[in-house]
Amino acid sequence: MTVTKKVVFVSKDDCIEELKILLGTMIQASRVEDGCLLYNIYQMQEKPNTFVVVEAWENEEALEGHKKSEHYLLYKSRYEQFTSDKYSDNLISLG
């Protein structure tokens, strides 16, 4: 079953560029992973300190593989220093 997620990051006021760069390192590396169907990151125009990741994976195993990748582990070890809030939602396609 396809796994689709939305992950929202809110950067600390003085860390917008650092978080933007860190998240940006995830895009190409994630897109070429086995099982990646979609991996996009957006910066909100009205709230430039807020970033939204929309990702879709073929199945839970593909997502778990992503979480073991070198680029994910690097991101995971660094994002908290730049982030004031983070939350995620699982999404279900309506069609």
Q: Which of 21, 9, 17, 5 is nearest to 80 (CA)?
A: 9
Burial class, 55, CB count within 10 angstroms (exposed 0-12 / middle 13-18 / buried 19+): buried
Per-residue pLDDT of 9-24, as tens digits, reads: 999 999 999 999 999 9
Digit-coded pLDDT (tens) for 32-51: 999 999 999 999 999 999 99
Q: How confident is the model at residue 95 (pLDDT cuts 50, 70, 90)?
A: confident
> Mean pLDDT of all residues in the chain?
97
Number of helical H runs and strand E runs in the chain: 3, 4
CA 61 to centroid of chain Cα atoms: 17
Judged against a pLDDT cut of 90, whether residue 6 lies above it is answered with yes
Angle at 6 between CA 50 and CA 60, to 5 degrees: 145
Specify the CATH class of 3-79 in words: alpha beta
